[in-house]
Structure 1
Amino acid sequence: MSHPDPLAQERRERLAGYALDTPFQALSRHWVRASMQRRYVYNFDWLGRPIIQYPQDMVALQALVWRLRPDLIIETGIAHGGSLVLSASLLALLDLSDAIEAGDMLDPRASRRKVLGVDIDIRAHNRAAIEAHPMASRIAMIEGSSLAPEVVQQVRAFAQGYRRVLLCLDSMHTHEHVLGELNAYAPLVTPGSYCVVFDTFIEDLPPRFFPDRPWDRGNNPKTAVRQWLAGQTDFEIDAEMEQRLQLTAAPQGFLRRMG
């Protein structure tokens, strides 16, 4: 017979309180705006590669990976490769955990767990650094637009046979592009797993906050998520994740596939 976990219950009650704490939520949104003005998310590396993410979102990803134990993580948007390395290292920890539990020797070359990254422009120096990284054996990359039919076909073919798939969308942040990615790749997410749509926070920033970018309030990942979810019956927003993080680039962007 299992016993109630007092820590988990305390956490649930605290998060429920956050959902009603409008001053705290406003403070969190203000900090996100101030931090983006100061390019705060460009300050971090993961295992030696630059990663353009909030630390809170990195922690959220590790929590999802540990709980879901995916075989494949698909990421659109590569940049410097830090996010690919983060995902690969988390999959390596899953393999280590499995090996310890089974009492087996760990051979990373034998692991089937992979990260697949897609980007329209993988710059040569970034590709070289990723391919030279100790996590490289767990990483595959496809260069091309994530919406190009041939790229979509390659990704779908790569994903065949994987039992648990986690998806992260973090490339072009316009409404139409993200909507296209959701239509193309969300069906690959296995029931119980997640599609994480980054940079939904653009909708919460003032208009023209990014004057040199094609996305803006009214034209961004959050507007795409809202339109896409209106036609879905098997995905839902994990609101508790946003309450837990407060500081996140993906408000309303943690989408759980039900079932």
Structure 2
Amino acid sequence: MADATSDPIAQFQEERREFVDGYAGDAAWQKQSIDWVTRAFGQKYMYNFDWLGRPVIQFPADIVAYQEVVWAVKPDLIIETGIAHGGSLVLSASLLAMLDYADAVAEGTTLDPANPKRKVLGVDIDIRDHNRAQIESHPMSSRIEMFQGSSVTDEMAAKVAEYAKGCQTVLVSLDSMHTHEHVAKELGYYAPLVSPGSYCLVFDTIVEDMDDSVFPDRPWSQGDNPKTAVWEFLKENPDFEIDQDINQKLLISAVPDGWLRRKA
């Protein structure tokens, strides 16, 4: 193990850990963060960003943290529920492309863009034609597969599980319907596909921390949302845990308590 007193890289990492450890005890800053995120949701702030030309409806900080997770885990398959405009699929596909490039450099091999090593699978109950057309014509399309249908049926779960067969490392991202019941079903179907050491990401857990007035026309609310489903799931699945390093450092995030790591 590197000595932080003599290794500048280890010293930087240690200093960063100390900073993050202090965030959790700063109640005023935590409240400011929740207030900011609440305002951001009300103003549709997360709708303002694209990834490689496609709208990606996420906070920038969550995108950066997601990149860190993908680089650390190096999955050969990412499964996503919820497609919308396809920005998240393109984000995942581009991160997987960079992993393939890094492997090719290390191995001294040549990439074949038409036959990518790593892929992303998206599931959505309604893939709108104009979004499908944009995704299928995107330069990352060779890495993207899409299944249309409800993510919480036995048939879809079996189809996804079959697609994942033979994949060594699988990462799952759940970002479709945000009610407790729906997320609990998705966790039951797709968390078992997550490889040891990899992650199941549960988006919009922030709903539990915001006033119900933020979502007046939505079926989710405080007490009925992704975070409550995560809490229930963790009680019954001790092989998963919240990655507190990510959880504590973001502050501006839609995914508090939603960075679930499967223990190696």
Q: TM-score, normalised by structure 1?
A: 0.98
Secondary structure class of the residue paired with 2:228: helix
The equivalences for 1:4-83 within 5 A come to 4=4, 5-83=10-88
Distance 1:49 1:191 in 2: 31
Residues 208 and 217 of structure 1 are in contact (CA less than 8 Å); yes or no, is this contact kept in structure 2? Answer: no
| Identical residues among aligned pairs (%) | 58
The alignment covers a number of residue pairs equal to 259
Residue matched to 1:87: 92
Deviation, structure 1 residue 109: 2.2
Q: Which amino acid aligns with 1:201?
A: I
Secondary structure class of the residue paired with 1:230: helix
Q: Which amino acid aligns with 1:188?
A: L
Distance 2:88 2:95 in 1: 11
Q: Deviations over 1:18-55 (max 9, x none)?
A: 11111111111111011111110000100000110000
Deviation, structure 1 residue 112: 2.3
Distance 1:97 1:113 in 2: 12
Range with bigger deviation, 67-76 or 236-245:
236-245
Residue matched to 1:243: 248
Secondary structure class of the residue paired with 2:241: strand
1:129 aligns to 2:125 (yes or no): no
Q: Which amino acid aligns with 2:240?
A: F
Residues 209 and 216 of structure 1 are in contact (CA less than 8 Å); yes or no, is this contact kept in structure 2? Answer: no
1:234 aligns to 2:239 (yes or no): yes
Secondary structure class of the residue paired with 2:227: helix
Residue matched to 1:187: 192
What is the alpha-carbon root mean square deviation over aligned residues? 1.0
Q: Which amino acid aligns with 1:234?
A: D
Q: Which amino acid aligns with 2:195?
A: T
Q: Deviations over 1:141-189 (max 9, x none)?
A: 0000001111111100001111111110000000000000000000000
Residues 80 and 174 of structure 2 are in contact (CA less than 8 Å); yes or no, is this contact kept in structure 1? Answer: yes
Deviation, structure 1 residue 2: 4.2
1:155 aligns to 2:160 (yes or no): yes
Structure 1 residues not aligned, in runs of 5+: none
The equivalences for 1:200-239 within 5 A come to 200-239=205-244
Range with bigger deviation, 104-113 or 229-238:
104-113
Q: Deviations over 1:198-238 (max 9, x none)?
A: 00000001123211111111110001111111111100111
Distance 2:235 2:213 in 1: 27
Q: TM-score, normalised by structure 2?
A: 0.96
Structure 2 residues not aligned, in runs of 5+: 5-9
One of 148, 168, 173 as aligned partner of 2:173: 168
Deviation, structure 1 residue 100: 1.1
Secondary structure class of the residue paired with 1:115: strand
Distance 1:160 1:245 in 2: 33
Distance 1:117 1:106 in 2: 23
